[in-house]
């Protein structure tokens, strides 16, 4: 264990695939309550970084500390890490298309509590209340009875974020949430993540610079598996090395 103020602390993480270093001594920290944007060109290691945090990939070297250093995630499996309160949203929405918006959230709540299948479609008052709250947050209350498969791409992404919220994570990892969204949906997603960030720590990987600018949070730029630059979007986007990596090839 390691004493740190950070909620999430990646300490010298390296991961190789067949001798190729996808992560190379990657270190950075995310403070409790923060929202952090992670950018970087294709192949920079962003997905591998999230795989390491969630226990999908084991680092060759280095440690990942969670909760002010209380837990070393690199020693835990995926289930244990999820149970500590780390939720991940993958790039593509994976909602239950045949079920209603409301039932998708209910399934996410049940999934979290490990309730038996026989109780699957019964709801308690606290569950109803929580579903209402989440529907408010993700702005889908008017569509609660709609089948998820009929939602727009953006609405499916918000629903899946809602399903993640149902699991009450302390830290949300969100992978390219606005890919494929309209400009209006993109701006709506920025608002949604800012609202979520009022109570939860968020790490968002994203290519869309207008979106990252809209978030207005600290940015970490990865390149070749380590941190190339860190700071405000203005600092990072005008950093000579970042400009070179994005434009100079």
User: Per-residue string for binding with ligand ADP, 140-179, x by CB under 6 A?
Assistant: ----------------------------------------
In this chain, which of 2, 5, 17, 75 binds ligand ADP, going by CB under 6 A? 17
Polymer length in residues for the chain:
249
- Piece in contact with ligand ADP (CB under 6 A), picked from 43-51, 80-88, 100-108, 232-240: 43-51
- Piece in contact with ligand ADP (CB under 6 A), picked from 45-53, 84-92, 119-127, 153-161: 45-53
Residue 176 CA to residue 203 CA, distance in Å, equals 11
Q: Does 40 bind ligand ADP (CB under 6 A)?
A: yes
Residue 134 CB, nearest distance to ligand ADP (Å)? 28
| Pick 22 or 108: Cβ nearer ligand ADP | 22
In this chain, which of 47, 220, 226, 237 binds ligand ADP, going by CB under 6 A? 47
Q: Are 211 and 7 in contact (CB under 8 A)?
A: no
In this chain, which of 9, 45, 108, 208 binds ligand ADP, going by CB under 6 A? 45
In this chain, which of 36, 46, 110, 130 binds ligand ADP, going by CB under 6 A? 46
- DSSP characters for 21-84? EEEEEEEEEE-TT-EEEEE--TTSSHHHHHHHHTTSS--SEEEEEETTTTEEGGGS-HHHHHHT
Q: How far is CA 200 from the centre of its chain?
A: 11
Q: Does 110 bind ligand ADP (CB under 6 A)?
A: no
- Piece in contact with ligand ADP (CB under 6 A), picked from 37-45, 74-82, 206-214, 228-236: 37-45
Residue 135 CB, nearest distance to ligand ADP (Å)? 31
Q: Is the dihedral of CA 101, 117, 85, 168 positive or negative?
A: positive
Give the other-Cβ count within 10 Å of 28's Cβ. 19
In this chain, which of 9, 35, 48, 165 binds ligand ADP, going by CB under 6 A? 48
- DSSP characters for 204-237? EE---HHHHHHHT-EEEEEETTEEEEEE-HHHHH
């Amino acid at each position: 264990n390691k004493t740190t103020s950070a909620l999430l602390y990646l300490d010298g993480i390296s991961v190789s695939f067949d001798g190729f270093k996808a992560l190379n001594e990657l270190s950075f920290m995310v403070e409790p309550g923060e929202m952090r944007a992670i950018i970087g060109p294709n192949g920079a290691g962003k997905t591998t970084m999230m795989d390491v945090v969630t226990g999908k990939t084991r680092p060759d070297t280095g440690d990942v500390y969670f909760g002010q250093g209380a837990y070393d995630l690199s020693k835990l499996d995926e289930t244990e890490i999820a149970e500590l309160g780390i939720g991940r949203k993958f790039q593509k929405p994976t909602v239950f298309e045949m079920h209603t918006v409301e039932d998708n959230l209910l399934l996410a709540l049940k999934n979290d509590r490990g309730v038996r299948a026989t109780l699957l479609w019964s709801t308690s008052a606290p569950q109803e209340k929580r579903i209402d709250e989440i529907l408010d947050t993700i702005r889908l209350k008017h569509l609660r009875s709609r089948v998820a498969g009929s939602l727009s791409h953006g609405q499916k992404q918000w629903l899946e974020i809602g399903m993640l919220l149902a699991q009450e994570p302390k830290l949300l990892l969100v992978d390219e949430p606005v890919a494929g969204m309209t400009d209006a949906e993109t701006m709506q997603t920025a608002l949604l993540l800012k609202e979520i960030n009022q109570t939860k720590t968020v790490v968002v990987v994203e290519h869309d610079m207008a979106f990252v600018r809209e978030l207005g949070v600290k940015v970490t730029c990865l390149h070749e598996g380590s941190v190339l630059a860190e700071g405000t979007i203005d600092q990072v986007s005008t950093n000579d090395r970042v400009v070179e990596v994005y434009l100079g090839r």
